[in-house]
Chain A
Amino acid sequence: MKKLLVHFRGYKKQCVLAPLFKMLEALFELFIPLVVASIIDVGIANKDTSYIVKCCIIMALLGAIGLTCTLFAQYFSASCAVGFATSMKHSLFKHISSLSYTEIDTLGTSTLITRMTSDVNQVQSGVNLTLRLFMRSPVIVFGAMIMAFIVDFKASLVFVVTIPLLCIVVFGIILSTIPLYKKVQEKLDKVLHSTRENLTGVRVIRAFGLEQSEKTRFHKETEELSRAQSFVGKISAVMNPATYAIVNISIAILIWRGAIRVDTGDLTQGQVIALYNYMSQILIELIKLANLIVTMTKAIACANRIQAVLDTESSQQNGTSRCGLSGKPSVEFKDAYLRYNVSPEYTLEGISFTANQGESIGIIGGTGSGKSSLINLIGRFYDTEKGQVMVDGVDVKEYDTEYLRESIGIVPQKAVLFKGTIRDNLKWGNKNASDTDILRAIELAQASDVLEKCENGLDYVIEEGGKNLSGGQRQRLTIARALVKKPKILILDDSSSALDYATDARLRQAISTIDFNPTTFIVSQRTASIMGCDKIIVLDDGKIVGMGKHNELLHSCVVYSEIYNSQFKEEVQ
């Protein structure tokens, strides 16, 4: 967590001034009981009206000065806390963007989003509250004690017992409830999970007639939640009554001892009242402090989680090379092995093949055979454990990844578009693309009809997650996005799954006529999609079990002919 403190840079002044002004406010507040005491002992005793008026004006002034101090403090702490969070969010976002696929897989995107949003917010309010209260509360608590000692040392000895006792009660309860609240949260998460599950799985639940058993399960979960909540409620409900009792008993003792001191002439009546007031101030402040501690523990937990993300380093070292060699194959795999971080088994084993510029490579194989993993190696989204992947004769690890990826156009399995116009989205491929370039790519991607349906053409605004487009429309636009890049290597990762056969076929035909002549990788489960390729790689369980043209493979590769026959049974017969 300590490393996060750098984000206070630029706010050092505010960071010091905020608590300082708060402290000033607290100090002024501490004078009030003394003023009241002198009203009683001097003003009332001597029937000195002007003295009383003066004292009351002083009290009002003390209040006004206190207010001014707080205004500064609140402003400084607000800008410090928000500035801190803003700076932290910036580095967090930047850091997350720098992680490689391996880390993204390990951490999970939904976790990363939570870190960026609710965790950062928690930390922000923690910082804000800490700056405001962390100095004020101790100053009041101990200040009140010191002031009491100044008024009368002997009568005030009870403070020495009361304050530690209050601290024990307050912090004891907080510390003992923190784990209990965690349990409550877990139970609430369960309830949330069940609710969600019953919505996403509503068809299956109803198809199997599970409504009643789901209800029973849910009721059990809410019952458990309610029990856990009541239990922790019982414990935290001790806090206020206990502190109240302690303070009042202390006041009784204080007055008793004060009375004795007055009797012997060492103390005045007004001073006893002042001591009494100091004790009351302590009580109010301690409760604030308790709330602060709760917020702080939460904020610290969040800060640690954020730090953990920041501590996760990308497992890839960026290379420096920004050009390939001429006369070498466009893509070459040399005995490449890939293993995902926790997996005991290789996902890809001993992959070797070459693809020359302009060739089309089909990759086919069953689910989990390693098709997507293979193409992910080309753009160095994962690193091989053994062997090499070369693009234009240079190991991908030696490239500056940004340069490498600029030459690759990928159409991912999941058709993701971003909020913004169609033009904005397609410009992801190439910032400087002209409308003509974009329209050409759309045409190639068989997406012209999508554009026709959108009223503003390229200016049509795609909603978050592409909600206002169908799956097939999105998919074709993602293909266009990759084509705008005019990449040297084009990768279609099972990206025609949402297209019907006819469109898929037209798309492939269009791609084969592209003028910038990319090396094309087509991943598919459909034989029809890849049978026209220059080279087909058949994967099975992470290994290449066949490589060649369609007709060759049909005879030489059992796996391939099996797949083919299953899809074209009748025709072959």
Chain B
Amino acid sequence: MKKNKIKASSVKRVLKYIKKYSFLLIISVLLAVITVGLTLYIPIIIGDAIDLIIGKGLVQLDKIGTLLLNVGIISLIIALLQWVMNTINNKITFLITRDVRNEAFDKIENLPLKYIDSHQYGDVVSRIITDVDQLADGLLMGFTQLFTGITTIVGTLIFMLTLSPIITLVVVALTPLSLLVASFISKRTYSLFKLQSEARANQTAIIGENIGNLKVVKAFSHEDESLEEFDLSNEKLKKASIKAIFFSSLVNPTTRFVNALVYAGVALVGAFVVMGNFGTAITVGALSCFLSYANQYAKPFNEISGVVTELQSSLASAARVFELIDEEPQMPDDENALVLENALGSIDLYDVKFSYSPDKELIKNLTLRVEKGQRIAIVGPTGCGKTTLINLLMRFYDVNSGSISVDGTDIRNITRHSLRKNYGMVLQDTWIKSGTVRENIALGKPEATLDEVISAAKAAHAHSFIKRLPLGYDTVISEELGGLSQGQKQLLCIARIMLSIPPMLILDEATSSIDTRTEIKIQDAFALLMAGRTSFIVAHRLSTIKEADVILVMNKGNIIEQGSHKELLEKKGFYYNLYNSQFEIGEEQNNEKN
């Protein structure tokens, strides 16, 4: 019931997209009616021509000539109209899929981070790519085969009735048989297909794990065991596949057989009608016309049943895309939201409460005042809430209660765009946009000149490796292409903020993959950059954050200690232990060995 509702609403939604192109659609439908009508008319003309071929010396060649000339001309017209119709159908389909994709993508850009963080990328991508493709297939088949199919059925019925109601009866009575057979088989094969796709999914997982991590497999000489496991899945899949493929391939031959029966039935009854056994006799030409109708009559039915299954799966796909499009967008910026220009950089967190899921409290009662120009270091064990704090500062997530303000304005009253532009952010997870090195550095300032880009790269100590790339700053890079080490990627990300120089900085493990010597040099550049700018630094290399004005020690979502390096060490608390663990044991071991 609920499922049907979803389906119905999906249909409505699809229709809405189609509406935009209703003019094209009307033309397409008109063309369908005309071409089908003409297509059905051709066997009649041919039948008439055949009737004029009676026997030796009795052939009316001149009349036949005119009729056949008509056949030729009409076929050409049909061909032309059909082509136009197909082209229009293609066009509508591809325009609609373009529209749907664009809308879905626009939605992505406007979704709260919560959605993106909690959904697998692959799932979202497959909605926009595979599901929309499936929708396109369904639409295209729907346009090309549903209309023509229905009009063919109706048209054939009318033509046949005018020729001979009795033979029509035979055709109409027998045709449903082929549909019954087809649906009987496909119902049975459904469960087999399900088994097959389960077996396939299982195998894909094995392949993904063992080939994806082949280096580990080889390091443990685990190749034979992996192969064994794979072969097991292979054997299972083989069995399931043979069954599924065999049973599904029965549909065509059996319907073909039923059609052969219909054909024989028409020939039988038709022959008797021709001989006048059932009242009004028809001609042999009409019989031949009927035979060709009988051949074609089952086809649209089979096609329509194909279209229906295709449409069903495409509606399921459409529903998945619409689900994405219908996702609650992030709260739009307030109309009167402030556009933050060059923030001074004082930040207030007041009684902030936040959690990703309602059942798991994370941050509570967090109050913190950051003066402009202060350097704040955030330390703590994994999962202590460091990254969460950044999510809140950047307003990737909104606080559940309490408030965060920049320069005295609640960030919810500032446009997201301008708030974020005021932060320079370098994350541990580097992200490279596919494009040239130059474009990547100029991400925040596309209008930057090459000289500006180069000096930013120099400041980030990225210039020397960029120079050595095949095309220097014009080298195309992307996440997938590889070629850059993690450390080099991080240098590029640092170069980005060296170029845009925003008033506030967030460095989340910004140098974690960079070797220590380069890091020292970058720290100098950072120091220069941070002078006078409010900055937040997350690192687990304690040495890199000792110089902070305030160190926030976080644990389990709360700030448990706060103060300068010295103060915190004197306190001999959590930070003290954390700090010492890196040195103490090293020393101990050293002494032991010596």
Interface pick from B152-160, B259-267, B342-350, B357-365? B259-267
Q: Smallest distance from the beta carbon of B315 to chain A beta carbons, Å?
A: 21
Q: Smallest distance from the beta carbon of A299 to chain B beta carbons, Å?
A: 15
Interface residue? B407 (CB, 8 A): no
Interface residue? A160 (CB, 8 A): no
| Contact call A568/B543, Cβ cutoff below 8 A | yes
Could you mark each residue 67-102 of chain A with 1 if its beta carbon is under 8 Å from any beta carbon of chain B, else 0? Answer: 100110011011101110110011001101111010
Could you mark each residue 187-218 of chain B with 1 if its beta carbon is under 8 Å from any beta carbon of chain A, else 0? Answer: 00000000000000000110111111111111
Interface residue? A333 (CB, 8 A): no
Interface pick from A32-40, A289-297, A383-391? A32-40
Interface residue? B87 (CB, 8 A): yes
A interface: dominant SS: helix
Chain A residue at smallest Cβ distance from B108 = A198
Which parts of A38-76 form the interface with B (CB within 8 Å)? Answer: 39-40, 43-44, 47, 49, 52-53, 55-57, 59-60, 62-64, 66-67, 70-71, 74-75
Interface residue? A534 (CB, 8 A): yes
| Contact call A252/B425, Cβ cutoff below 8 A | no
* Bound form: Cα–Cα A71–B251 in Å: 10
B288 cross-chain contacts in A, Cβ below 8 A: 273, 276
A70 cross-chain contacts in B, Cβ below 8 A: 253, 256
Interface residue? B389 (CB, 8 A): no
Chain B residue at smallest Cβ distance from A369 = B515
Interface pick from B4-12, B13-21, B221-229, B556-564? B221-229
Interface residue? B272 (CB, 8 A): yes
Which residue from A32, A244, A571 sits with its C-beta under 8 Å from B263?
A32
| Contact call B238/A82, Cβ cutoff below 8 A | yes
Interface residue? A242 (CB, 8 A): yes
* Bound form: Cα–Cα A99–B223 in Å: 11
* Bound form: Cα–Cα A493–B56 in Å: 96
Interface pick from B42-50, B300-308, B367-375? B42-50
Which residue from B219, B271, B496 sits with its C-beta under 8 Å from A44?
B271
Knowing A214-B109, A501-B581, A566-B543, say if A79 contacts B417 (CB, 8 Å): no
* Bound form: Cα–Cα A105–B253 in Å: 48
Could you mark each residue 224-260 of chain A with 1 if its beta carbon is under 8 Å from any beta carbon of chain B, else 0? Answer: 0110011001100110111011001101110110111
Could you mark each residue 528-547 of chain A with 1 if its beta carbon is under 8 Å from any beta carbon of chain B, else 0? Answer: 11011010000000000000
* Bound form: Cα–Cα A259–B110 in Å: 71
Knowing A52-B268, A230-B94, say if A255 contacts B68 (CB, 8 Å): yes
Interface residue? B105 (CB, 8 A): yes
Interface pick from B398-406, B447-455, B517-525, B529-537? B517-525
Interface residue? A435 (CB, 8 A): no
> Can you show 7 pairs from A to B with CB atoms below 8 A apart?
A56-B264, A86-B234, A93-B227, A215-B109, A263-B57, A528-B586, A532-B590
| Contact call A498/B382, Cβ cutoff below 8 A | yes
Interface residue? A429 (CB, 8 A): yes
Number of interface residues of B (CB under 8 A): 157
| Contact call A101/B425, Cβ cutoff below 8 A | no
B256 cross-chain contacts in A, Cβ below 8 A: 63, 66-67, 70
B interface: dominant SS: helix
Knowing A195-B125, A464-B205, A568-B583, say if A204 contacts B427 (CB, 8 Å): yes
| Contact call A74/B246, Cβ cutoff below 8 A | yes
Q: Smallest distance from the beta carbon of B87 to chain A beta carbons, Å?
A: 5
Interface residue? A19 (CB, 8 A): no
With most chain B CB atoms within 10 A of its CB, the pick from A194, A248, A500 is A248
| Contact call B219/A410, Cβ cutoff below 8 A | yes
Which residue from B98, B234, B427, B520 sits with its C-beta under 8 Å from A566?
B520
Could you mark each residue 423-436 of chain B with 1 if its beta carbon is under 8 Å from any beta carbon of chain A, else 0? Answer: 10101000101100
Interface residue? B95 (CB, 8 A): yes
Interface residue? B165 (CB, 8 A): no
| Contact call B102/A222, Cβ cutoff below 8 A | yes
A154 cross-chain contacts in B, Cβ below 8 A: none
| Contact call A464/B208, Cβ cutoff below 8 A | yes
Interface residue? B295 (CB, 8 A): yes
* Bound form: Cα–Cα A197–B212 in Å: 21
A481 cross-chain contacts in B, Cβ below 8 A: 220
| Contact call B242/A79, Cβ cutoff below 8 A | yes
| Contact call A208/B215, Cβ cutoff below 8 A | no
Interface residue? A502 (CB, 8 A): yes
Interface residue? B33 (CB, 8 A): no
With most chain B CB atoms within 10 A of its CB, the pick from A66, A86, A268, A472 is A86
Chain B residue at smallest Cβ distance from A401 = B221
Interface residue? B298 (CB, 8 A): no
Q: Smallest distance from the beta carbon of A38 to chain B beta carbons, Å?
A: 11
Q: Smallest distance from the beta carbon of A217 to chain B beta carbons, Å?
A: 10
Q: Smallest distance from the beta carbon of A266 to chain B beta carbons, Å?
A: 9
* Bound form: Cα–Cα A528–B64 in Å: 101
Interface residue? A203 (CB, 8 A): yes
Interface residue? B97 (CB, 8 A): yes
A81 cross-chain contacts in B, Cβ below 8 A: 245
Q: Smallest distance from the beta carbon of B113 to chain A beta carbons, Å?
A: 7
Interface residue? B592 (CB, 8 A): yes
Interface residue? B231 (CB, 8 A): yes
| Contact call A366/B204, Cβ cutoff below 8 A | no
Which residue from A195, A401, A464 sits with its C-beta under 8 Å from B108?
A195
Interface residue? B61 (CB, 8 A): yes
Which residue from A44, A66, A192 sits with its C-beta under 8 Å from B260?
A66
* Bound form: Cα–Cα A83–B241 in Å: 10
Interface pick from A1-9, A111-119, A324-332? A111-119
B480 cross-chain contacts in A, Cβ below 8 A: 193
Interface residue? A211 (CB, 8 A): yes
| Contact call A505/B238, Cβ cutoff below 8 A | no
| Contact call B238/A567, Cβ cutoff below 8 A | no
| Contact call A569/B268, Cβ cutoff below 8 A | no
| Contact call A263/B263, Cβ cutoff below 8 A | no
Interface residue? A178 (CB, 8 A): no
* Bound form: Cα–Cα A251–B67 in Å: 12
Interface residue? A357 (CB, 8 A): no
| Contact call A82/B241, Cβ cutoff below 8 A | yes
Interface residue? A308 (CB, 8 A): no
B292 cross-chain contacts in A, Cβ below 8 A: 277, 280
Interface residue? A470 (CB, 8 A): yes
| Contact call B217/A223, Cβ cutoff below 8 A | no
Which residue from A104, A408, A465 sits with its C-beta under 8 Å from B215?
A104
| Contact call B57/A532, Cβ cutoff below 8 A | no
* Bound form: Cα–Cα A164–B160 in Å: 34
Q: Smallest distance from the beta carbon of B511 to chain A beta carbons, Å?
A: 10
Could you mark each residue 477-511 of chain B with 1 if its beta carbon is under 8 Å from any beta carbon of chain A, else 0? Answer: 01110000111100001001000100000000000
* Bound form: Cα–Cα A284–B87 in Å: 22
| Contact call B125/A67, Cβ cutoff below 8 A | no
* Bound form: Cα–Cα A184–B356 in Å: 41
| Contact call B110/A249, Cβ cutoff below 8 A | no
* Bound form: Cα–Cα A570–B133 in Å: 61
B80 cross-chain contacts in A, Cβ below 8 A: 241
Knowing A113-B208, A412-B215, say if A226 contacts B543 (CB, 8 Å): no
Could you mark each residue 381-409 of chain B with 1 if its beta carbon is under 8 Å from any beta carbon of chain A, else 0? Answer: 11100000000001010000000000000
Q: Smallest distance from the beta carbon of B436 to chain A beta carbons, Å?
A: 14
Q: Smallest distance from the beta carbon of A481 to chain B beta carbons, Å?
A: 8
Interface residue? A563 (CB, 8 A): yes
Chain B residue at smallest Cβ distance from A113 = B211
* Bound form: Cα–Cα A128–B252 in Å: 15
Q: Smallest distance from the beta carbon of A231 to chain B beta carbons, Å?
A: 9
Interface residue? A146 (CB, 8 A): no
Interface residue? B54 (CB, 8 A): yes
Interface residue? B173 (CB, 8 A): no
B420 cross-chain contacts in A, Cβ below 8 A: 206-209
Which residue from B57, B264, B577 sits with its C-beta under 8 Å from A63?
B264
| Contact call B382/A262, Cβ cutoff below 8 A | no
| Contact call B65/A256, Cβ cutoff below 8 A | yes
Chain A residue at smallest Cβ distance from B581 = A502
B543 cross-chain contacts in A, Cβ below 8 A: 566-570
* Bound form: Cα–Cα A551–B478 in Å: 43
A532 cross-chain contacts in B, Cβ below 8 A: 586, 589-590, 592-593
